[in-house]
């Protein structure tokens, strides 16, 4: 019995010990489980924030969301995000939870390193405060905007070039923050820092884009003003330059009448004059005056035709274009048919590749092809049969046409000026006013295209021009 009793007592003690152990391990298990749950929850929150940050959009809603989320997750009384002023001397309360709404975006605090917020800006690690009132690192009363703060953690929200600011949490009572809590806050600050940096870059990019757009607008306005000036110029030419010509030509005509009257009046009295006077008079009335008037008249006519050429150019630049689908192969054949006599005379072989269809103004295309083909035929070398090739190629942006000849070619030095008004290159043995290629270039430009020439003397020239696609949808191109 005694033995049994001892045995039993020992057994009971062991059993009690075992139960106690089991109870203890159960408590540990529960604690660990709770910690794990808490950590998993925090990680889920971090993931959620990360997604929110990646979604883009304004920074402010994200900041608000962060403060609410941190407050709930860490069960703190206050959470605030303070943004560092570019001068680095002020922190502004950009978002906050637990603070009166009127403080958000308004309240500021000096970024003084003797305060825990200023101190955080210089700390690479989270700043953990057990009691703000007694913490020897800071010279603070434990009051912020009239609220009592006791414990807290604050972390820097860092950026690539300069810190965004500080993220901090506070409690109104003493509280010990776990390592998990601190990691969590640090992770939130990291996400926030990256996002703020990204937004900053986006804003800078947007700003650069806006400035670029502004510059484009200004340049466009300049160009429009220049165009307007050119149009006025054309008007001035048509009116103001013509007016004196009317007078010169008119009074030259009047002089002509007067000479006729003089001649008729003088004829009967000529025999009565001495030889010298008679010869002088006859020379003046019969030769000198008519010669002078002829020069005046021909010069005025030349000037008038130059003015008319400039006017025509300005009208080509203003005429309303009607865009339609054009079979260029047919148009080239029609143009060649109108030049058939010259093709035959120059024994020219013309090769026309199948050409792409274009959407363009028909009259303009006729004028472009007419000018270029006539030029190709006009400037051949008479001693050899002519050879002209016309080809075309379509790309998504533009259609390119090439007109090649085996004519006399254009000197390299002259290539840049052949599209200018009144400029002609090479031997001047073919009549022309030097406006053809200027008209062509104006028309090509109005079709959103470009024209240039490749040439070699004695070998031949190739004129290459483009016509932009989708012309019908676009607004008209200004010259």
Residue of the chain from 238, 329, 342, 450 that contacts another protein (CB under 8 A): 238
CA–CA separation, 331 and 374 (whole Å): 14
Residue of the chain from 90, 103, 230, 252 that contacts another protein (CB under 8 A): 252
Residue of the chain from 173, 174, 176, 239 that contacts another protein (CB under 8 A): 239
10 Å Cβ neighbour count for 149?
23
CA–CA separation, 154 and 140 (whole Å): 15
Nearest distance in Å: CB 400, another protein: 34
249 lines the binding site for another protein (CB under 8 A)? yes
For another protein, the binding residues in 196-235 under the rule CB under 8 A are 235
For another protein, the binding residues in 283-342 under the rule CB under 8 A are 300-301, 304
Containing 126, the helix (H) or strand (E) segment is none
Nearest distance in Å: CB 445, another protein: 22
- Contacts with another protein by CB under 8 A: the residue count is 18
Residue of the chain from 56, 57, 105, 253 that contacts another protein (CB under 8 A): 253
Closest CA to 386 of 347, 356, 340, 434: 347
User: 398 to each of 349, 439, 446, how far by Cα in Å?
Assistant: 28, 20, 13
In the numeric block, the tokens 């941190």 are attached to 70
Residue of the chain from 92, 148, 199, 242 that contacts another protein (CB under 8 A): 242
Nearest distance in Å: CB 234, another protein: 9
Which residues does residue 227 pair with via DSSP β-bridges, in sequence order? none
Q: How many residues does the chain have?
A: 479
Which one, 248 or 394, has the nearer CB to another protein?
Answer: 248
CA–CA separation, 364 and 436 (whole Å): 13
Pair 198, 80: CB distance under 8 Å: no
- Identify which range of 8-16, 38-46, 252-260, 395-403 contacts another protein by CB under 8 A: 252-260
Closest CA to 63 of 84, 43, 83: 83
Nearest distance in Å: CB 302, another protein: 11
Pair 192, 157: CB distance under 8 Å: yes
Pair 151, 171: CB distance under 8 Å: yes
Nearest distance in Å: CB 250, another protein: 4
Residue of the chain from 247, 287, 298, 395 that contacts another protein (CB under 8 A): 247
- Identify which range of 104-112, 215-223, 243-251, 387-395 contacts another protein by CB under 8 A: 243-251
- Identify which range of 44-52, 120-128, 214-222, 239-247 contacts another protein by CB under 8 A: 239-247
Which one, 256 or 478, has the nearer CB to another protein?
Answer: 256
3-state SS string for 313-339: HHHHHHCCCCEEEECHHHHHHHHHHHC
Nearest distance in Å: CB 196, another protein: 59
CA–CA separation, 127 and 2 (whole Å): 65
Residue of the chain from 61, 100, 105, 250 that contacts another protein (CB under 8 A): 250
CA–CA separation, 154 and 145 (whole Å): 17
Nearest distance in Å: CB 476, another protein: 17
Closest CA to 385 of 344, 352, 427: 344
Nearest distance in Å: CB 237, another protein: 10
Residue ranges binding another protein (CB under 8 A): 235, 238-240, 242-243, 245-247, 249-254, 300-301, 304
């Amino acid at each position: 019995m005694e033995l049994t009793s001892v045995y039993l007592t020992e057994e009971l003690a062991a059993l009690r010990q075992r139960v106690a152990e089991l109870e203890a391990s159960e408590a540990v298990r529960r604690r660990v489980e709770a910690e794990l749950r808490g950590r998993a929850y925090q990680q889920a929150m971090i993931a959620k924030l990360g997604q929110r940050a990646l979604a883009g959009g304004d920074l402010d809603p994200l900041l608000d969301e962060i403060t609410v989320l941190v407050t709930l997750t860490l069960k703190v009384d206050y959470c605030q995000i303070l943004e560092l002023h570019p001068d680095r001397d002020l922190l502004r309360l950009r978002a906050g939870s637990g603070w009166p709404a009127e403080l958000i975006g308004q309240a500021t605090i000096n970024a003084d390193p003797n305060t825990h917020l200023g101190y955080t800006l210089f700390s690479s690690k989270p700043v953990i405060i057990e009691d703000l009132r007694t913490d020897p690192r800071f010279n603070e009363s434990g009051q912020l905007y009239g609220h009592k703060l006791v414990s807290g953690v604050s972390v820097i929200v860092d950026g690539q070039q300069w810190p965004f600011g500080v993220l901090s949490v506070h409690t109104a009572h003493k509280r010990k923050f776990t390592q998990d809590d601190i990691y969590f806050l640090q992770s939130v600050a990291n996400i926030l820092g990256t996002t703020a940096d990204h937004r900053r870059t986006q804003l800078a990019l947007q700003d650069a884009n806006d400035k670029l757009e502004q510059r484009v607008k200004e340049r466009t306005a300049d160009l429009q003003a220049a165009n307007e000036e050119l149009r006025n110029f054309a008007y001035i030419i048509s009116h103001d330059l013509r007016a004196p010509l009317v007078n010169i030509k008119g009074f030259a005509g009047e002089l002509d009448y007067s000479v006729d009257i003089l001649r008729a009046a003088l004829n009967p009295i000529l025999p009565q004059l001495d030889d010298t006077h008679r010869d002088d008079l006859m020379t003046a009335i019969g030769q000198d005056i008519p010669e002078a008037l002829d020069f005046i008249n021909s010069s005025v006519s030349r000037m008038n035709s130059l003015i008319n050429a400039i006017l025509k150019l300005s009208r080509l630049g203003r005429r309303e274009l009607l865009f339609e689908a054009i079979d260029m192969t047919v148009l080239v054949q029609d143009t060649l048919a109108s030049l058939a006599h010259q093709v035959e005379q120059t024994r020219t072989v013309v090769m026309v590749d199948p050409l792409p269809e274009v959407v363009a103004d028909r009259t303009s295309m006729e004028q472009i092809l007419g000018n270029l083909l006539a030029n190709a035929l006009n400037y051949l070398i008479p001693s050899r049969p002519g050879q002209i090739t016309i080809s075309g190629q379509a790309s998504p942006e533009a259609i390119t046409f090439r007109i090649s000849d085996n004519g006399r070619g254009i000197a390299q030095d002259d290539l840049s000026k052949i599209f200018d008004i009144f400029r002609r290159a090479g031997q001047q043995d073919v009549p022309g006013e030097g406006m053809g290629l200027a008209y062509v270039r104006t028309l090509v430009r109005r079709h959103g295209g470009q024209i240039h020439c490749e040439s070699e003397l004695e070998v031949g020239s190739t004129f290459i021009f483009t016509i932009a696609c989708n012309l019908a949808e676009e607004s008209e191109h200004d010259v």
